[in-house]
Amino acid sequence: MEICSIETTGNGLFEITDSIRSAVEKCGIKEGIVVINVPHSTAAVTVISRMDELGFLDIEDEVNRLIPTRTDFKHQFDTPSDAAGHIKSALVGISISLIIDGGQLQLGSSQGVFFFEFDGPRKRKYQIQVIGK
């Protein structure tokens, strides 16, 4: 397993596609899967189109519209953004699995892998596990 660090500059999407591709190439697996996991409860990982940066804002805006930061959450351990971040993380998800074929990460031509920060800025980690032959 490879553990990667990321320092987020605030809330939002941060592309990690290159580090995933690098981990796949480095391990030498030709056929299999790669699992990307985020061991945090206020962050997530997702695959989205990277063709138009304004699309990132659309996704962030809609997630924030669905789960706004507010003070009436029952969870009050930390801050209102922490409570909202827990819900966003649960809905977007903390792990994804992607196919490796011919030693290459299988993504569509416009797709990228993104770390989604909901309670930043923070020093974070994500894990990459490659499985196959």
- Quick: pLDDT tens for 17-43: 999 999 999 999 999 999 999 999 999
Q: What are the start-end ranges of the E strands in 8-109?
A: 12-15, 31-37, 43-49, 95-101, 104-105
Q: Are 85 and 43 in contact (CB under 8 A)?
A: yes
What is the distance in angstroms between the CA of the first residue and the CA of the last residue of the chain? 15
Domain 2-132 - what CATH class? mainly beta
> In this predicted structure, what is the pLDDT of residue 44?
98
- H/E run at residue 86: helix 80-92
**pLDDT tens, position by position, for the chain (133 residues)?**
999 999 999 999 999 999 999 999 999 999 999 999 999 999 999 999 999 989 999 999 999 999 998 777 776 666 656 788 999 999 999 999 999 999 999 999 999 999 999 999 999 999 999 999 9
Could you give the CA distance from residue 8 to residue 38 in angstroms, rounded to a whole number? Answer: 13
Give me the residue label for tokens 């020093």. Answer: 123
- Predicted confidence at residue 81, as pLDDT, reads 61
